[in-house]
Structures are given as C-alpha cells and as structure tokens.
Amino acid sequence: MLDIIKILENGGVGVIPTDTLYGLVAQALNKQAVSRVYRLKQRSVHKPFIILISSYEDLAVFGIKMDRNTESLLKKYWPGPVSIILLSTLEKFRYLDRGSEGLAFRLPKKKKLLEILKKTGPLIAPSANPENKPPAKNIGVARKYFGDKVDFYLSGGTLNSKPSSLIRIKGENIEILRK
C-alpha cells in the first residue's frame, strides 16, 4: 500500500477499485497527472472528472463554501455512491472543472479506499476504460486497456456495480444528471 501512496504522491497514475467501479486515479491537485489521465482515457477535454475525497474538510481545498442546505444534502448522500457537483469559482481549478464552473465530488464508504485518500489527498477517479469502451470490471480488462501505460494496478476482484449517481446542487435546487 505504501508503494501506491508514493507513486500517486509523485504524480503517478494507477487503477484501483473504488466504491463503484475500477477507477483510473491520480492526485487531483497535480495538473500533469490529471492531463495524463485525459490522454490515457482518450477523453474529451471538455468533460470533467469526479474527485474522490476522504472528508468534508477536503472540499475547502477546492474553495467550496457550504451553506446549511448544501451541508444537509451532503450528509444525506455521503458517504456513498453519489457524486455531487458543487459550484467552484476558483480560476486555479479550471484544469479540473473544464469551464463548467462546478466540480463533482464523492465521499466513498469503502474503508480501504478512504485509507488511501487520507494519505494521498483527493484523487480524480474516472472509470478505468478508454472513452467509448465499457468500464473495466476487473484488473485483467483494465490491463488490456492500459497495459504498462499506468504505474500500478490494485485488484479488488470483479466489480459489477454501476457508476455513481450524479447530482448538481445550485443553491436550493437539485438536478439529477445520472441515476
């Protein structure tokens, strides 16, 4: 586990089981690592990634200010498989929000994943697959997709979950983007 932490801290990219699917992960605060994930996934540069966090306090790193309404909504859905888009206006995170003025966060329930996040800080974690291919359900499929182009693989068996639900919070309004 320490090796994985060091690799991520040094700008590495890997495949790990998340609380939903296998994710292609990198430190969210490392622009070069985030760019590398875009290239590996062959993903449209206009689509932002979901960011996994280990606690509500991680939101402050991204300049997210919560009112009582937002806080109560987060507590309703987290921890769990719900990704929530929150308003982000800090220019320095444009490489993450891709002009959408919102960042999608998820606070997972999975203990092993939370241990990793507490040590690495927030991680981007899009599904482990190139754009327009099905998400990898196991490490074997992930290896076929990425081979030696990623720095590590962490197996968690076969994952048959669906992607996280995705909602956007704007003031008092909630918009469901993906169930």
Question: What's the domain range around 109?
Answer: 2-178
| Residue 106 predicted with pLDDT over 90 | yes
Highest-scoring range by mean pLDDT, 44-48, 114-118, 172-176: 114-118
| Residue 114 predicted with pLDDT over 90 | yes
At residue 89, the pLDDT reads: 78
Find the CATH number of the domain harbouring 83. 3.90.870.10
Q: How confident is the model at residue 2 (pLDDT cuts 50, 70, 90)?
A: low
Mean pLDDT of the chain: 91
Q: What is the pLDDT of residues 22-65, one digit of tens each?
A: 999 999 999 999 999 999 999 988 889 999 999 999 999 999 98
At residue 73, the pLDDT reads: 86
Structural domain total, the chain: 1
Highest-scoring range by mean pLDDT, 65-69, 79-83, 144-148: 144-148
> How far is the CA of 120 from the CAs of 5, 21, 77, in angstroms?
6, 19, 23
Please spell the DSSP secondary structure of 109-163, one letter per residue. Answer: --HHHHHHHHHH--EE--BSS-TTSPPPSSHHHHHHHHGGGSSEE-------PPP
0.75 exceeded by pTM: yes
Packing angle of the helix pair 2-9, 111-120 (nearest 10 deg) = 40
Higher pLDDT residue, 167 or 139? Answer: 139
